Amino acid sequence: MNKLLERIRSFIPHRPSGTLVVSPNESAVNPGSAPQAARKMDRFTLISWIVTFAIVAGLLGSTYLYKNGTASSSPPATQPTIESGTNPPLGGGPLVMADNGAASFISRHLQLKTNIPERPRYKPVLYRVSRGDAMLAIAEKFKVKSESILYVNDTLEDNPHNLKPGMELTIPPVDGLYYQWKDGDTFETVASQFEAKVDDIINFPGNDIDLTDPQVEAGELVMIPGGSRELEDWTKFLPTSGRSNDGSTGTSDFGSNTCGGGPVASGFGWPANSTTISGNPYGPGHLGIDIQANEGDAVYAAGSGVVTMAQGGWNYGYGNVVQIDHGNGYVTVYAHLSQINVSLCTPVGQGTLIGAAGNTGNSFGSHLHFEVRLGGTNINPLQIVQ
């Protein structure tokens, strides 16, 4: 820039610094014009400003042209397109575009509310039973097994049918049971007693055990995660009653009564019009299934056989109950009936009306309690009914 200004200066006549140029005629005619001439801009200064503005304008113009030229030389990025009538992919992955290019994306599902993950629970909670509750529904609500609720609530006496409105239940934080520590107990002996793991007991946050020095004082209540114990088998109070073994076709040897032989089942169907498990499923403490049935709904023989029990009353909580020996080692039990339509030793076929559903005995709402016993031992009815 300095060299350019010097070259321009060489073309301009040089005047001594501070010299004011005034025309003789102008001075003679108008003596006051000398100060006015002093205010005129020096020709060199004027030309310098013009050159400076020209250089700046040239630089700005070249920059603008360079940017526009670069932008026009690059083709615009192709936007991913989806043909009409097709659904966008649901999972993440590459999205194929019109020019066979690909762009990765992450799919998101529209939600009306934010899902907040549940925090783990380490302490028990109290739950008050209300009308219409069932053990299965309560267990599912708190994400534990039915037997875990039976383990920690002595008032139930290991029987889910003892559930009553207004009862307060202790719901454990995880599956398992509580144990009151005794003198001489060790983690190994307690874990072995309840078929649990030592590490699970020590590391469970709800037990507040010092991991650097694991100790439990006698009398403390300790959660045994994954622990279990034997539940009371209430079916023992209603013995399996079979046909008398008189040598006839389809007889049974267990709990024989005076009934002789009869039809033999070749298959089993549902004993009610509904196939919905409304109360308690098969499992420890409940060796049958509770089928949804309103008061007075029909109850059918699940298979051909002979009625070996048709008995009203309490019957250890079974209420009005019917048993059928099917002659092939299977016996079915129908409990809490409101009425019984068959009598002892009556032969029945599959689908024969044997009674009506009800709420007798130790029952919490109308339903059909249905059991299947094989050789006198309970099995899951869902394994044989079709």
Looking at residue 11, its amino acid is: F
- The whole-angstrom separation of Cα 107 and Cα 89 is 8
Question: What pLDDT sits at residue 116?
Answer: 65
- The whole-angstrom separation of Cα 61 and Cα 193 is 90
- The whole-angstrom separation of Cα 157 and Cα 20 is 124
Of the candidates 151, 159, 153, 175, the one whose C-alpha atom is nearest the C-alpha of residue 279 is 159
Question: What pLDDT sits at residue 367?
Answer: 92
Per-residue pLDDT in tens (0 to 9) along the chain, 386 residues: 566 556 655 655 555 444 444 444 444 444 444 444 444 556 777 787 888 888 888 888 888 787 776 655 555 555 555 454 555 544 445 545 545 555 555 666 666 666 666 788 999 999 999 987 888 889 989 999 989 999 999 999 998 888 888 999 999 999 999 999 999 999 999 999 999 999 999 999 999 999 999 999 999 999 999 999 998 888 888 899 888 765 444 455 566 566 888 899 999 999 999 999 887 888 877 889 999 999 999 999 999 999 999 999 999 899 999 999 999 999 999 999 999 999 999 999 999 999 999 999 988 789 999 999 999 999 999 999 98
- Which are the contacts of 338, defined by CB distance < 8 A and separation ≥ 6? 295, 296, 320, 355, 356, 357, 358, 359, 360, 366
Of the candidates 220, 214, 213, 217, the one whose C-alpha atom is nearest the C-alpha of residue 201 is 214
Cβ–Cβ under 8 Å, residues 230 and 195: no
pTM for this prediction? 0.61
For the chain, the helix, strand and coil percentages under 3-state DSSP, each to the nearest 5:
25, 20, 55
Task: Kindly state the tokens that stand for 363.
Answer: 């029952």
Cβ–Cβ under 8 Å, residues 223 and 206: yes
Which domains occur in the chain, in start order? 125-225 (3.10.350.10), 234-383 (2.70.70.10)
Q: What is the pLDDT of residues 116-129, one digit of tens each?
A: 667 889 999 999 99
Q: What is the pLDDT of residues 155-210, one digit of tens each?
A: 999 988 888 889 999 999 999 999 999 999 999 999 999 999 999 999 999 999 99
- Give the number of C-alpha atoms closer than 13 A to the C-alpha of residue 107, restricted to the C-beta side: 10
Dihedral, 248, 254, 258, 264 alpha carbons, nearest 10: -40
Question: What pLDDT sits at residue 237?
Answer: 84
3-state secondary structure of 115: coil
